[in-house]
Structure 1
Amino acid sequence: MRVLFVTYAERTHFLAMAPLAWALRTAGHEVRFASQPAFVDQITQAGLTAVPVGRYRDPGRALELTPGWQTAGRAGLPRPYDVAQRHPDDISWPYLRDEFARQVKDWHKYENVPMIPDLVAFAQAWRPDLVIWEPTTYAGPIAAKACGARHGRVMFSLDIYGVTRDHYRRLRAQQPPHDRGDALAEWLDAYARHHGGEFTEDMITGEFTIDQFPRSLRMEADLTYLPMRYVPYGGPAVVPQWLRAAPWRPRVAITMGLVATERFDGYAVNLQDILDSLADLEIEVVATVAEAEQRRLARIPDNARLVPFVPLHALVPTCAAVIHHGGFGTLSTTALHAVPQLVLPLHFDEPALAEGLARQGCAIHLPAERATGPAVQEALLHLLGEPAFADGAHRMREQMRALPTPNEMARRLAAMVADRRPITTG
């Protein structure tokens, strides 16, 4: 079969999709990966075939156009998707209606509109059997509708999008006919009708959703979920010489992710304070720190090694603990290798994921605003000294390993496309 993957030019989202694209390709299927022209190198570096569509739109610019994106919603989630963590009685229709309309105008159209004409033209010419899209790249389902392909989402996060949509539909149904506006559906319907169809709800939430978290960490809407095991991929990687030898004392990794330096003004925690607090401990610290952030440091402790990048899937298995921000890839890679985690979350789904890991007994959750040097030192010593965290980390690894692999998912998707029957949750 032919499979078309689609995402706007966001690296972290692409990394979450690449292993499934590989699995489908090595199973013998034809795979193409469509994104904006400036993102082509990221796709081809992964050994995948790129299809440039539209023109580049900087995701960071979308944040600037969306006032309060990072902090205006509760728990740091962008409006209106912060309702995903609220009690139903604490959600008002005016808030959800108005904020959804604003996000469509300021964010979703900004990222998607430049891609749509080229993507639809390619889909109609190439005729994919299946379109796999990142959950806010609505150009994907528009193209699927235009060419008659089946389609679904691959999550890079908790499904705040599906849960928010559930709340939206519930509250909308309770309103009088004159107050049932649906900006997202109306926008997508215009494209569907232009290509001879009409809007259906799957254009927002997919015919199915591939989720790479175990059930204990997921946030689920009233949708069909297909679980898939996370496979680490962080781009081109070389294992350095120093990493080939086992550490002679406990190794602790520190990584605060890509987005902090690519999208925002540095890390949410005081890295100098944290490094200083760990300087006298009998541990080896390996911190992946962007070069620009390294230049801000006044000193580097003798027990610390700072590197701009090291393959996380090679580093984590050598560690006794990992200190990180709670991002999807870092959290999942660490969990897959049964290493206890100290999570310092700031925004988006990081706080919810940190709380979920802590409930599973494999992590300590310390919010970024409270992550002073002494607090991090105290939490790390507790993490290293309490065997229950290692036990919890091994249980989490078993949950991760129990999920179907991308290879198994490739077979399931091929069978689903072949028989066209409704998809059921796995």
Structure 2
Amino acid sequence: MKVLFTTFAAKSHMHAQVPLAWALQTAGHEVRIASQPDLAEDITRTGLTAVCVGEPLLLEEQMQRVNEGLGDDAEIMESQAEAGMDMTETRPEMLTWDHVLGVFTSMTAMAFQNSCPERMIDDVVAFAREWQPDLIVWDTLSFAGPVAAQVTGAAHARLLFGLDLLGRMRETFLDLQEERLPEQRDDPLREWLTWTLGRYGAEFEEEVAVGQWTVDPVPPSMRFPVKQPFVPLRYIPYNGQAVIPDWLHEPPKKRRVCLTLGVAHREVLDGDRASIGELVEALAELDVEVVATLNEKQLAGMELPDNVRAVDFVPLNALLPTCSAVIHHGGSGTFQTALAHGVPQLIVPDMVWDTIHKAKQLERFGAGLYLHDVDNYTAQDLRDHLLRLLEEPSFAENCARIRREMVGTPSPNDIVPLLEKLTAEHRRDRGARGTVRGEQ
């Protein structure tokens, strides 16, 4: 088969695709990853082949502009709600038609179209028409993938990077829409995708919004229940190119705690919702060895305690197996890597996408804790939470249960035959191709 992966230019999202992409390539299939030029070098560093599409996204600059207008986490959540971009709502009484319509209106205009501009979609469609992939695997926020599949007849699957907020909210939206009069059934996502597909002479189907099937790397105990067909996938940590430092080969002399805010948080969000100084101060008096993945900018003007080792980067896949606990912001890569290694987690949620939901799921399962009020916590609060993780054996026991659950989930190599079968079932006639109107 020919398999095309699509993602917007965010390194962490591309990293989530690499293990499956390599599984397909080592099974004998041809693989390409399409994204904006910003990501080309990172893609080629994985050993896979990049396809540059669209203009540079400059995501870091965009997020810096957003951050300049935001304050604390309460303000972030309030601003998201006011803008209609809060896809995290789960309370039934709050999931009204007005709420979910507002979510899809704002997300379509601000998030979906911004991460996947018209030029990018044009280029992905043009490449797909020329290369003729059998299967397109797309990131949840990269709608160029399903559009190109609908135009060319390729099968397509949505590959999640975290909890399926989109799938869950889309189901709620469609259920509420059915209760409306026909003339009151606005659907901003469908309208955008219908217009986009119409430029190539193709038509909208609901699978363009959510995939013909979904590949879900979240462990069953943490997964959102959705009705769409899905293929469970074991999460395989991928941290990019790295060299393991010598000190990591030596066993820790004390219980080791990892403090990390994630590469994505550092490179894209350009800030630390949780104060680095407060986090480090909270750990200074504990009888633990702390490894903090912090760069020069994050450490500026800070005096580190004797029990804290600061490193710019170390692959979490190598570090976490040596740790008794990890403190982090709730990003999917760190969250899933900690689950894969059975390490109890203390989450200081940054309120981006699904971090608060992951924190709640983790605490509910007894595999970690989170700070419920991230704007008003004290150093003592953080110490108390961490000491519970280190001293109460139930956390490690529950983490081990999740790890066993993950080990029992099919690996990327294991699901390749199923992907081949699903592709054969969903792929349409090769002649189902369109052109951008005006290009005939």
- CA 1:291 to 1:156, structure 2 compared with 1: closer, same or farther past 3 Å? same
1:413 aligns with 2:439: no
By how many angstroms is 1:232 displaced? 0.5
| Structure-2 change in CA distance of 1:72 and 1:22 (3 Å) | same
1:394 CA displacement: 0.8
Other-structure match for 2:145: 140
Amino acid corresponding to residue 413 of structure 1 in structure 2 = L
Map 1:132-211; keep pairs closer than 5 Å: 132-211=137-216
Compute the displacement of 1:87 (Å): 2.8
Q: Does 337-346 or 231-240 show the bigger shift? A: 337-346
Shift of 1:73: 4.9
- Deviation of 1:420 (Å): 3.9
For 2:154, the aligned partner's letter is A
Match of 2:336 in 1: 332
* 1:147 Cα deviation after fit: 0.9
Within a 5 Å distance, the mapping from 1:170-319 to structure 2 comes to: 170-297=175-302, 299-319=303-323
* Cα distance, 1:152 vs structure 2: 1.0
Q: In 1, are the aligned partners of 2:321 and 2:341 still within 8 Å (CA)? A: yes
Kindly provide the amino acid, as one letter, of the partner of residue 414 in structure 1: E
Deviates more, 1:382-391 or 1:192-201: 192-201
TM-score, length-scaled by structure 1: 0.93
Could you give the per-residue CA deviations for residues 21-41 of structure 1, whole angstroms, max 9, x where no partner exists? Answer: 010001110000000112100
Corresponding position of 2:22: 22
| Compared CA separation, residues 80 and 129, structure 1 to 2 (3 A) | farther
Instruction: Name the SS of the counterpart of 1:223 in structure 2.
Output: coil
Q: How many residues align?
A: 421
Query: Is 1:386 the counterpart of 2:392 in the alignment?
Result: yes
- Residues 6 and 142, structure 2, Cα contact 8 Å, conserved in 1: yes
Aligned equivalents of 1:354, 1:13: Cα separation in 2: 20
Partners of 1:325 and 1:173 in 2: how far apart?
38
| Distance (Å, rounded) in 1 between the aligned partners of 2:255 and 2:106 | 49
Which one-letter code corresponds to 2:345 in the other structure?
Q
Structure 2 regions of 5+ residues with no counterpart?
Answer: 429-440
1:91 aligns with one of 89, 95, 100? 95
- SS of residue matched to 2:237: coil
User: Does the 8 A contact of 2:38 with 2:58 survive in 1?
Assistant: no
Q: Percent of aligned positions with the same letter in both sequences?
A: 39
Per-residue deviation at 1:168? 1.5
Residue 134 of structure 2 contacts residue 427 of structure 2 at CA under 8 Å; is this kept in 1?
no
Classify 1:75/1:159 alpha carbon distance in 2 versus 1 (closer, same or farther; 3 Å): farther
The more displaced of 84-93 and 337-346 is 84-93
Helix, strand or coil at the partner of 1:266 = coil
> In the alignment, is the contact (CA less than 8 A) between 2:347 and 2:369 conserved in 1?
yes
Structure 1 residue ranges without an equivalent (≥5)? none
Measured against aligned partners, the alpha-carbon deviations of 1:319-362 in whole angstroms (never above 9, x if no partner) come to 11111111111111111111111111121211111111112222
Q: 2 CA distance for matches of 1:68 and 1:305? A: 31
Shift of 1:387: 1.2
1:345 has 2:374 as partner: no
Q: Is the 8 A contact 2:154 2:427 kept in 1?
A: no
Within the candidate set 375, 392, 412, 1:369 is matched to: 375
How many Å separate the matches in 2 of 1:33 and 1:321?
34
